[in-house]
Amino acid sequence: MIDSRTHLWSADVLPEFRLGLENLRAHKLRSLLTMLGMIFGVAAVVAMLSIGAGAQQEVMSFIEQLGVRNLIVEAREAPDGQTLQKVRKLSPGLSFQDLRIIQSNLDGISASTARKRFTPSKLMPKPLGGDMPAVYGIAPAYQTIANLKVASGRFFDEAETTAAAPVAVLGEAAAATLFGTDDPVGRYVKVNDQWFRVIGVAGPQLTVQSDVAGIPAQDRNNLIYVPLYSSVFRLEDGQSAQKDEIDGVYLQMKQGSDIPGAAAMIRGILDVAHRGAGDFTIVSPAELLAEQRRTQRIFEMVMVAIASISLLVGGIGIMNIMLASVLERTREIGVRRAIGARQRDVVRQFLIETTIISLTGGVAGILLGVGLSQLIGVLAGWSTIVTTSSIVLAFGVSVFIGIVFGLYPAVRASRLDPVKALHYE
């Protein structure tokens, strides 16, 4: 059985494959122009999917870092003073009391902390270029909730937080901005009028360039973490009575907790406490992650549909060229039929040629698409990921379209009357 298949391949397919290559080489320019539709179609599919995958991966990694068992309550800032006045008539803003009410009414909380943040007006040492680091006032539980690793030194503990100890942990970028390549542990930073002793440096954190579902865009590496009850916040609060007492609440739920149900309960508690002022946002990373995955699938389908138009145009080009080739080679087809070639032999010959065009165009398109995605990543600074699935999808669709659009010219060539074909001029 194997020998007969090998004989069929060597006796029928290989000669026709060589004949197809010779015919395509004899018309190099025409063959290249025929391939262009496939090349650009495949390149478009690979490049667009790689750009989309890179963007989605960046956001999804950020959401995963937020913690799928976490819930985050963010204070919603009023866009102007008039709106703020209306909100304050209903709600005093996010507060420690809100956190205590949530802790007493919501089961399944394993860790929690409030957050107070601001950007200092003065900082010593002076930042060596770049943005001014933001200050986060938090409890030690934040380290567990945010999965924050300490690269050197240590994080402050509950005793230091309760005593409002003047200690600080620097984010990776903040340490580089303030101290360059020197080790900051054991040194001091002055935030406005308060000195803090640096006891640790946090490891790198993922960041995104735009807001994600209520979480404001911020360089999470350019932060200074200090105890929540530090005197620097009391001084800061004295400058603006209109600010919320706290501007964020982080909660980590126990394994197996109903995260959507917990988010709904928190929303209900705060709606009652804030009298429907709508001055907060609840962020559930687990729900965001599921939504991003759905969005990614829809995006991929849309991108494939758009790029497939190019492949469709390329397939039409193949059909047109192969129909012209049938007319040009009518006498050749007649001679083949006269010496005993069957209809399926003629069909196979033309299908082999269209397959060669599709395969070559597909490979060239993949190389061009990978190159384009890398170039875009370098020039635009975007994150791009070339996935195996995008390559397989683009290549498979290009070959399929090539064969389908090459089938009609092949069948038409096989049905030519041998006698008329021999007399065709």
Q: Name 80's Cβ contacts closer than 8 Å, sequence gap at least 6.
A: none
Confidence of residue 302 (pLDDT cuts 50, 70, 90): confident
Question: Quick check: 170 pLDDT over 90?
Answer: yes
Per-residue three-class SS string for the chain: CHHHHHHHHHHHHHHHHHHHHHHHHHCHHHHHHHHHHHHHHHHHHHHHHHHHHHHHHHHHHHHHHHCCCEEEEEECCCCCHHHHHHHHHHCCCCCHHHHHHHHHHCCCEEEEEEEEEECCCCEECCCCCCCCCEEEEECCHHHHHCCCCEEEECCCCHHHHHCCCCEEEECHHHHHHHHCCCCCCCCEEEECCEEEEEEEEECCCCCCCCCECCECCCCCCCEEEEECCCHHHHHHHCCCCCCCCCCEEEEEECCCCCHHHHHHHHHHHHHHHCCCCCCEEEECHHHHHHHHHHHHHHHHHHHHHHHHHHHHHHHHHHHHHHHHHHHHCHHHHHHHHHCCCCHHHHHHHHHHHHHHHHHHHHHHHHHHHHHHHHHHHHHHCCCCCCCHHHHHHHHHHHHHHHHHHHHHHHHHHHCCCHHHHHCCC
φ, ψ (nearest 5 deg) of residue 183: -80, 120
Confidence of residue 172 (pLDDT cuts 50, 70, 90): very high
Confidence of residue 420 (pLDDT cuts 50, 70, 90): low
Confidence of residue 153 (pLDDT cuts 50, 70, 90): very high
**pLDDT for the residue 239:** 47
- Domain locations in the chain as residue ranges: 8-62+291-422, 67-285
Question: Quick check: 211 pLDDT over 70?
Answer: no
**pLDDT for the residue 12:** 61
**pLDDT for the residue 6:** 52
Q: Name 116's Cβ contacts closer than 8 Å, sequence gap at least 6.
A: 136, 137, 138, 228, 233, 245, 246, 247, 248
The answer to whether residues 92 and 273 touch, using CB atoms and an 8 Å cutoff, is: no
pLDDT (mean) for 338-354: 76
Question: Quick check: 54 pLDDT over 70?
Answer: yes
Long-range pairs of 187-193 with CB within 8 A, sequence gap ≥ 24: 189/123, 189/124, 189/125, 189/224, 190/122, 190/123, 190/124, 191/120, 191/122, 191/123, 191/135, 191/224, 191/226, 191/232, 192/120, 192/121, 192/122, 192/123, 192/232, 192/235, 192/236, 193/122, 193/232, 193/235
Confidence of residue 154 (pLDDT cuts 50, 70, 90): very high
Q: What confidence tens digit (pLDDT) does each residue in 391-410 have?
A: 887 788 778 887 887 787 77
The first and second tokens of residue 25, run together, are 């080489």
**pLDDT for the residue 202:** 93
Q: Is the dihedral of CA 355, 396, 381, 170 positive or negative?
A: negative
Q: Which of 156-165, 238-247, 403-412 has the highest mean pLDDT?
A: 156-165
Question: Quick check: 76 pLDDT over 60?
Answer: yes
Question: Quick check: 192 pLDDT over 50?
Answer: yes
The answer to whether residues 45 and 37 touch, using CB atoms and an 8 Å cutoff, is: no
158 against 377, higher pLDDT = 158
**pLDDT for the residue 283:** 83
Confidence of residue 64 (pLDDT cuts 50, 70, 90): low
**pLDDT for the residue 393:** 79
Mean pLDDT over the full length of the chain: 80
Confidence of residue 9 (pLDDT cuts 50, 70, 90): very low
pLDDT (mean) for 55-74: 74
Confidence of residue 75 (pLDDT cuts 50, 70, 90): confident
Q: Name 45's Cβ contacts closer than 8 Å, sequence gap at least 6.
A: 303, 304, 307, 308, 311, 365, 369, 390, 393, 394, 397
147 against 197, higher pLDDT = 197
The answer to whether residues 155 and 263 touch, using CB atoms and an 8 Å cutoff, is: no
310 against 106, higher pLDDT = 106
Question: Quick check: 237 pLDDT over 60?
Answer: no
Question: Quick check: 10 pLDDT over 60?
Answer: no
Q: How many CB atoms lie within 10 A of CB 187?
A: 15
**pLDDT for the residue 80:** 76
The answer to whether residues 394 and 45 touch, using CB atoms and an 8 Å cutoff, is: yes
Question: Quick check: 209 pLDDT over 80?
Answer: no
pLDDT (mean) for 151-166: 91
Confidence of residue 227 (pLDDT cuts 50, 70, 90): very high
Q: What is the maximum alpha-carbon separation in the chain?
A: 104
pTM here is: 0.63
